[in-house]
Structure 1
Amino acid sequence: MSDQEVVVNKNKAHRKDKPWDTDDIDQWKIDPFKAEDNKAGAFTEESSFATLFPKYREKYLREVWSAVTRALDNHGIACTLDLVHGSMAVRTTRKTYDPYIVLKARDLIKLLARGVAINQAVKILDDETACDIIKIGNLVRNKERFVKRRQRIIGPDGSTLKAIELLTQCYVLVQGNTVSVMGPYKSLKEVRRIVLDCMKNIHPIYRIKELMIRRELAKDPKLANESWDRFLPQFRKRHLKTSEKTSKKNELLAAKTEARAAAGLPTQASSSKPAKKVYTPFPPAQQPRKVDLQLESGEYFLKNSEKEAKEAERRKKKQEETTEQKRAQRAEAFVAPAETAAPSVQEKRKRKAAAEEDAPTEGESKKKKKKKEKSA
């Protein structure tokens, strides 16, 4: 027998001698809760939950309510469907043995009300599955912007939603003003983060890329005890420096100047700045108050009736001026434009005779040309 076999046999004997040794027990395993585990027996008080559902879900719920009843009967939960008030309710009975199953049943009717199918919603009764209903209706005020960002969660042909489901091992349903999620607790946090960031105008592809990198890093046992920050992408908005902002502004001004020059418009000098004011250490003179102005004009000492009469007279005068201006504007439309009459035959003859007198004769024009040639 080898030394290694001897050590193994000694360990086995040690465990038989000490049954309290828990090295082989999986501390993280969750055992299912059975009826034998409830030592106290039936519950002394009844617990119940109810939720409303929209009108368009009424037909579907009537069709699948028998399946809901069968699923809850296995756990000793009674359920009722009220079509008059549009509500669903669940409650514990004498057969209920699991104290937490009534909360699972509450989640079940919530998911059914939010549009989840019965075959998917029944999975919430398992201990390893949880749900989260994310409200997104009040995160964006603009309706069009809200619809665009909600569609961004789904993606083209549902590709973004499928990627989120594959990476987080969750079921995600976008319906109305809510997003219903089913899956493990850790994955629910990731999906909530993706959805809320998407409604804050951060595209889901950034979080999806980060999840893909994390999944690949988890396969390497060497990186189990190391920080993954150096591998994860940092998606942050880059703030420009002052010099970069100035250069960008100068480029825009240069492009604008070239465009104006090409169009034949006068260019504006970018360096022209308004003249600086002369600095004076003394503050400006204080402006008079309204009471001071009234004291100067004597209005302050008038009675209330006199003040009202003066104000009414001022208003009437202003109204008359406005009325006169509008009357003049309306009268302009009826003023005939100035017409230029065609010249008569006599006027034409006079103009022609005056033009002939002013024009030089042929002999005079030849003399002027010879003088110019000699001087040259």
Structure 2
Amino acid sequence: EKSVHEEQFDPTEFLPDTFNPMIEDNEFSILVPKTRVDFFMQNFDKISQLFKKYNMDFKMNQQRQMVYVSSTAKTQDPTALLIGRQFLKLLARYVDYDVAVKVFNPNVESEVIACDYCSKQETFLKRRLRFIGDNRQTLSALELLTNTQMAVYGSTVAVVGPPRGIALVQKIVKDVFAKNILPSFWIKTLMTRRELEKVPELQGQDWSTFMPKLKKGKSRRKQKEFVPKKPLEERGITDISQQCERAIDKQLEIGAVVKGRKLRM
């Protein structure tokens, strides 16, 4: 399996040889973030030329912040429209052009994964920062180990790569954001799995003994052990009135308290 980081891809390589035009015209629209409109304006000609190779049309409405991909009279492949829509979605999610264009390769898939599992915004931001890492180190390590390329924007993670790598990234995202599992655990697991795959003697065996295990978190609040009270007879109380007797009752009996004031003895 080739790495998506090193593979050089030419989108025109997979164009069909025969001409079979589509019967119906189709169009898809994608909403673009306001901060990403300038990117589409600057690369409008580049995207249009790419779509023309697949006999598709690219349009943009700057006021509505919408981009459109539509079929033409020469469009032959219906799936090209779906791939074109996914290509625009990736660009809107801040994926680089050179990475997003790889979705036109039949061996490469893409997915936009939602990671809004946290109810509190502060918790979500901390876990997202942990997922990316300092200077993108954690994210780069996960990209190399899963053979994918990712871009984190808002509450989504855009992934480009083989289907196996995308399925793995979906599990990692859910564990990090929903179950609060550190990304370092997955990095250790994937590195261990990669080393075990190089050993022919261990193929087909159980690798659970070699894999890192999650440590159970300790609860911060220690619950006090419940100790039942002894019966009254064992505590030397034979009369219920003795149990309910208070200190102020004894002071009233001896006259030490008069009208809420203590007397000097």
TM-score, normalised to structure 2, is 0.74
- What is the CA–CA distance in structure 1 between the aligned matches of 2:148 and 2:55, rounded to whole Å? 27
Partner residue, 2:16: 35
**1:134–1:277: structure 2 CA closer, same or farther, 3 Å change rule?**
farther
Paired residues of 1:133 and 1:180 also in contact (CA < 8 A)? yes
Query: Amino acid of the residue matched to residue 36 of structure 1?
Result: D
Paired residues of 1:68 and 1:118 also in contact (CA < 8 A)? no
**1:60–1:221: structure 2 CA closer, same or farther, 3 Å change rule?**
same
**1:78–1:206: structure 2 CA closer, same or farther, 3 Å change rule?**
same
Query: Amino acid of the residue matched to residue 45 of structure 1?
Result: E
Of 33, 57, 62, the residue aligned with 1:54 is 33
Paired residues of 1:153 and 1:161 also in contact (CA < 8 A)? yes
List structure 1 runs of 4+ shifted beyond 6 angstroms: none
Query: Number of residues paired by the alignment?
Result: 218
Of 46, 55, 70, the residue aligned with 1:91 is 70
Q: Which has the higher contact order (CA 8 A, sep 6+)?
A: 2
Aligned counterparts, 1:61-210, within 5 A? 61-137=40-116, 139-199=117-177, 200-210=179-189
Of 221, 228, 234, the residue aligned with 2:200 is 221
Which has a greater percent of strand?
A: 2
Report the Cα offset of residue 277 of structure 1.
Answer: 6.2
Report the Cα offset of residue 58 of structure 1.
Answer: 1.2
- What is the CA–CA distance in structure 2 between the aligned matches of 1:239 and 1:60, rounded to whole Å? 48
Q: Deviations over 1:113-155 (max 9, x none)?
A: 1112222222222112111111123x11111111100101011
Pair member with larger Rg:
1
- What is the CA–CA distance in structure 2 between the aligned matches of 1:81 and 1:106, rounded to whole Å? 13
**1:277–1:201: structure 2 CA closer, same or farther, 3 Å change rule?**
farther
Query: Amino acid of the residue matched to residue 103 of structure 2?
Result: I
Query: Amino acid of the residue matched to residue 59 of structure 1?
Result: D
Structure 2 unaligned regions, length at least 5: 1-12, 234-265
Partner residue, 1:301: none
Paired residues of 1:64 and 1:118 also in contact (CA < 8 A)? no
Paired residues of 1:124 and 1:182 also in contact (CA < 8 A)? yes
**1:222–1:100: structure 2 CA closer, same or farther, 3 Å change rule?**
farther
- What is the CA–CA distance in structure 2 between the aligned matches of 1:109 and 1:118, rounded to whole Å? 10
**1:232–1:273: structure 2 CA closer, same or farther, 3 Å change rule?**
closer
Which has a greater percent of helix?
A: 1
Paired residues of 1:124 and 1:130 also in contact (CA < 8 A)? yes
**1:273–1:62: structure 2 CA closer, same or farther, 3 Å change rule?**
same
Q: CA RMSD in A?
A: 2.6
- What is the CA–CA distance in structure 2 between the aligned matches of 1:151 and 1:144, rounded to whole Å? 11
Q: Deviations over 1:185-208 (max 9, x none)?
A: 100011111111111211111111
Report the Cα offset of residue 66 of structure 1.
Answer: 0.9
Report the Cα offset of residue 276 of structure 1.
Answer: 3.6
SS at match of 1:69: helix
- What is the CA–CA distance in structure 1 between the aligned matches of 2:214 and 2:229, rounded to whole Å? 42
SS at match of 1:36: coil
Report the Cα offset of residue 54 of structure 1.
Answer: 1.2
- What is the CA–CA distance in structure 1 between the aligned matches of 2:175 and 2:134, rounded to whole Å? 19
**Percent of residue pairs identical:** 33
